[in-house]
Structure 1
Amino acid sequence: MFPTLLQAAALGGDVAPVHDMSALGLFLQADIVVKLVMLGLLAASVWTWAIIFNKATKLRRMKAAAADFEEQFWSGGSLDQLYDQVAQAPADPFSAVFAAGMREWRHANERGLSSSGAMRANLMQRMERVMSVTVGREMADTERYMTVLASVGSAGPFVGLFGTVWGIMGAFTNIAAQQNTSLAVVAPGIAEALFATAIGLVAAIPAVLAYNYFSSEIGRFGDRLDSFVTEFSAILQRHLEERG
């Protein structure tokens, strides 16, 4: 913006400066602070879309793997055989939770299950605790980078607004220096400033929508995983009672 204004002044002050009103032109002509704001918002937007694609792919794979595991689990086959298949490398949170519970169950069997009710109650508590810890770890991994989406969605418009305010301040400073309030002088500087807000919204809107969607999907998946823990615990409890 400043070079074109100086060139116009050198030509006599009566010729309106020529401004490139394209997106690239608005960026190149903006103040250095506004440029930094725009670059930061563009970087946040790229990071946001990378997280969105990563989350979408991961959730799709998790749901497919969970459906396959549940089909095997409820098929009526041996739980020990299923454990031998998934224990080494659990492919999804369901497999990891199942493997954690079965590992504790096998250790108890190897040591010999006591007929004492208190001992069996302690075993059930240990298995439920181990599975709960595994659920927390798996869900924490699933929720990774969700705070980035929340931060970009909430802070993006305000960062863009800061760039806009700074740009408008610069535009009015130029207007005062030229003592010219014609639209040809005012409009380009304001357009450059408002472009920062536009970029802030471009970064924030997808982040907010993605955060709300993924939060809902992850929450449903977590509820489904908790239900599995409850059902699996009930199965193991029934086995203990049958042995007693």
Structure 2
Amino acid sequence: ARAADTAVVVVATTERVESEGFDRRDLRLPGRQDDLVRAVAAANPNTVVIVNSGSPVELPWREEVAAVLLSWFPGQEGGAALADVLTGAHEPGGRLPTTWGSLSDAPVTRVAPADGELPYTEGVFIGYRAWDKAGATPSYAFGHGLGYTDWTYESIEVDGRTATIRVRNSGERAGREVVQVYLAPTEQDSARPARWLAGFAGVEAGPGESVEAVVELPRRAFEVWDETANSWAFVKGSYEIQAGRSIADRRLASGITV
């Protein structure tokens, strides 16, 4: 590894620790894979780690390596796709649909029933909503993702329930950006999250080019479940429309009253 220009380390979970049929005991990579990454990174600062997993894992060495690429479970053409990404032929343009952090920091971890019951005391505060409420900082926030270029968020306009966000590719090569729009009620209610994902749109642009992302805000984004009526209820009021690269990287904001 020390003699190589770049070291590529592939780590993974297996069916023994990750399955749809049972709960996970921890979020660690199995075996001594963390030790392997640390040893290679100590020998070569240009270490790229490929993570093959179907759900979040702890990455305690993430600050010690040059790059981390999440490939999920890619299938039989995964090798060819990975080669294209590593050589720069294609950009890794995905965004995280989950929050990645340590199990000790995770706000919701109870999965074992007591006396045959498992009460959902967290209510709607699961996933990124729970992390946001707890004020905890994960390793990688919901919606996070990098590529091979940079993006500048220039403006946001809201017309009815349509948000138009103009972004500019401020890097040196063509790329793809996923513009995310979060809805935040102006009047906070402890029973509702501070903000939630209302929509997103993918856009592509060349170096220096500007492009508009148009995101429709569906009626469902403004609704809550009414247990008495046993149906969805539209919540009127003032909301802030927040646009950005992830829930933790919101760049622009505008207002809306419905």
TM-score calculated relative to the size of structure 1: 0.22
Higher relative contact order (CA 8 A, sep 6+): 1
Q: Which has the higher strand share?
A: 2
Q: Which has the higher helix share?
A: 1
Larger radius of gyration: 1
